A and B are shown apart, each in its own frame.
Chain A
C-alpha cells in the first residue's frame, strides 16, 4: 500500500512538472486549474475540516490581488499618480524592478491577508453555521463595493500592471510554475498538518465545539490560526493572479463573489468535504465542467452552473470521495467486518 501511494504521488508530481510542456496550448488553463485547487484546498481547511462554512474566502483573493499590485507599483512609483486614469503618463518597469515587485508583492499579499483573517475572524468567529456564511459573504461584498469607490487604487476601473518582460509564452510557464509551486507546497503542508494534534483539534471543533472547549482546546485560537493560514495561501494565489491577468477590476475580477467565491465551495462539495484529495479531484472535475459549458453552452453556462450547485448540494452531498469511501472502504484502510455482522444475524436467528 505504501509503495503504491508513493508511485501515485510521484506520478502526480511528474505530471505537474511536464504538463505545460506536453499541453502547450493549455498553459493558462492549467494555471487556472491550480488556482482552483489552491482555493478549494484552503476552503476545505475551514469548511471541511473545521466546520466553518465561509462564503467570503474570495475576500482574501481580491485583497491579495490589490495588495500585490499596490506593493509592486509602490516599490518604484507613486500609486495615486499611477492609477489616475487621466494623467496620460507612461510608467515603465525594468526587469529587475518587475521581478522584485512580483515576489515581494505576492509574499506581502499573503502576509497582509493572514493579518486580515485574524482581525475579521476575531470579529466573526462568534457566528455559527449559516450566520458565519452570510457574515463572511457580507464582508466580501462590502469590500468589493468599497474598493470600487476608492480612487487611490483605481476605483471601478481597477489597476493595470506591467506585462511579463520576456517572451509571453515563457511568461505563461512562469505563472504556471508559481501557481503549481504554491499548490504543491500547500498540499504537502496540509497532508502533514492534518496528521498532527492541530488537525485533530480542528476536527474536534467541527464535531462539537462546546465539548472541544470543555476538553481544554482554546477554540478561538485554533480557528484564527487555521483561517489565517488559509488566508495566506488565498492571498498568495490572488497576488499571482494579479500579475497573470495584468489588468483587473474590483467587482468582476478581484472580489468576484459569485464566480470564484462560490466555485471553491462547489469544488470541495463535488470532491468530498473534509478529505485531503477531495478538493483536488473536485477542482479538476469542476474546471473541466466549467470549460466545457463555457465553450458549448455560451449564455446558458450560468444556468448549468447553478444547476450543478443545486444537484451537488441536494443529491450528491458526500462528494466523490465520500461516495468512493462507501463503495470501496478498503481503499481508505477502513476495515468492514462483514463476517461479524453475519455472525450477529446468525446468532439472532
Chain B
C-alpha cells in the first residue's frame, strides 16, 4: 500500500515521469491497435470473435525471431512474418473457421479458443517456454536531461506499424477486394446476390487478419518480449480495444489502442509489474460494465 502511495506521489512530484509513461504506452499501444484492427475486421465482416488473435501475434513474433537466429535482419522479418502468417491464417480458415462462420457466436469463440490452446502449445514445443526478444543495435535518443529515453528501435517499430495500418486502410478503401470485403460486412446476403464470392472474401479477410497480427508480432519481438503463453493477454487486449471502440470505427480503434497502452503502463507503474496481466483484464471488465450501463439507459442488453 505504501509502495502504491509512494509511486503515486512520484507522479505528482516529477511531471516528466508522466510524459515518459505516456510515450512508452503509446509506442506499445500502436501494436495493440494493429492486432485489434485485425480483430475488428474479422468480427465485423464474418461475425467471428477470434480468441486466437494473440497467438497469431506471438506466432508472427517467433517467425521473425527464428529468422533472426539465422542472421536475417529483424526488419526483414516483418514482411516474412506477414506472408507466413497469411498462409497459417488461410489453413486455419479452411480447416475450422469456414465451418463456424454461420453458427452462433459461442461456437466460434470456443473453436478459436481451442485453436489458441493448440497454437500456444505447439509454439512451446517448438521454441521452448523462455521469453524471447531481438535486440536491435540502434542508439537511444535522450530528452529532458536523460529523463526520457526513446530507443530508435521502438520508433522504427511504431513507424512500421503505422505504415502497415495505412497500407491496409488504403487497400480497404480503394481496391476491388477491399470494396468486396466492405460490401460483405454490410450485408452478406446482398453481396452474394450481386455476385461477390463471399466464401473467398471470408478466406481473404481471415488470412489478412492473421497476416496483420503476424507482422505486429514481428514488431513486438523487436520492441518487447514474446513467450508462447502470452497470447491470451494480447487477445484480451484486442477485445478490450474493439469493445471500447465499437466495430468499423477505425479512429476509435487507434485511439483506444494507444489509450490502453498508456493506461497499462500507468497501472504497472503504480501497482507494480506483477499486476500487468490483471490490469489488462480489469480494463476489459471496466469497459464491459461501462458499455452495459450505457445500454441499460435504453433498456437494452449488450449482445
Contact = CB atoms under 8 A, between A and B. Distances in A.
B96 A310 contact: yes
A307 B116 CA distance: 10
Given A53-B106, A129-B105, A131-B302, A306 B114 contact: yes
A74 interface: no
Given A127-B292, A145-B277, A317 B114 contact: no
Contact of A141 (B49, B119, B236): B236
A contact face: mostly helix, strand, loop, or mixed: helix
Contact of A138 (B110, B288, B296): B288
Contact of A130 (B106, B118, B119, B285): B106
B179 to A, nearest CB: 28
B91 interface: no
A336 interface: no
B114 A313 contact: yes
B113 interface: yes
Nearest to B277: A145
B110 A265 contact: yes
A307 B114 contact: yes
B303 interface: yes
Contact of A134 (B117, B239, B296): B239
Nearest to B121: A302
A310 B114 contact: yes
A141 B282 CA distance: 9
B44 to A, nearest CB: 14
A288 interface: no
A134 B232 CA distance: 12
A123 B107 CA distance: 24
Interface residues of B, number: 44
B7 interface: no
Interface string A44-60: 00000000010100000
A309 B275 contact: no
B285 A135 contact: yes
B221 interface: no
Contacts of A53: 106, 109
Contacts of B105: 129-130
A99 interface: no
Given A126-B292, A129-B104, A303 B122 contact: yes
Given A129-B104, A133-B109, A138 B281 contact: yes
A243 to B, nearest CB: 28
A133 B239 CA distance: 12
A317 B49 CA distance: 18
Contacts of A299: 125
A46 to B, nearest CB: 12
Interface in B91-112: 96, 99-100, 103-107, 109-111
Contacts of B115: 306, 310
A302 B118 contact: yes
A198 interface: no
A128 B49 CA distance: 14
B223 interface: no
Interface in A25-75: 53, 55
Contacts of A306: 114-119, 121
Interface residues of A, number: 39
Contacts of A300: 121, 125
A214 to B, nearest CB: 13
B107 A138 contact: no
A309 B302 contact: no
B156 interface: no
Contacts of A124: 288, 292
Given A127-B302, A138-B285, A145-B275, A309 B113 contact: yes
A121 to B, nearest CB: 13
B249 interface: no
Q: Give the most central of A53, A262, A269, A309: most B CB within 10 Å.
A: A309
A123 B292 CA distance: 9
Contacts of A146: 278
Nearest to A149: B274
B289 interface: yes
A248 B111 CA distance: 30
A243 B52 CA distance: 35
Interface in B217-269: 232, 236, 239, 243
Nearest to B103: A317
Given A123-B289, A131-B302, A138-B285, A149 B275 contact: yes
A16 to B, nearest CB: 30
B183 interface: no
Contacts of B278: 141-142, 145-146, 149
A314 B111 contact: yes
A131 B288 contact: yes
5 contacts: A53-B106, A135-B284, A145-B277, A258-B117, A306-B117
| 4 tightest A-B CB contacts, nearest first | A306-B118, A309-B114, A145-B278, A302-B121
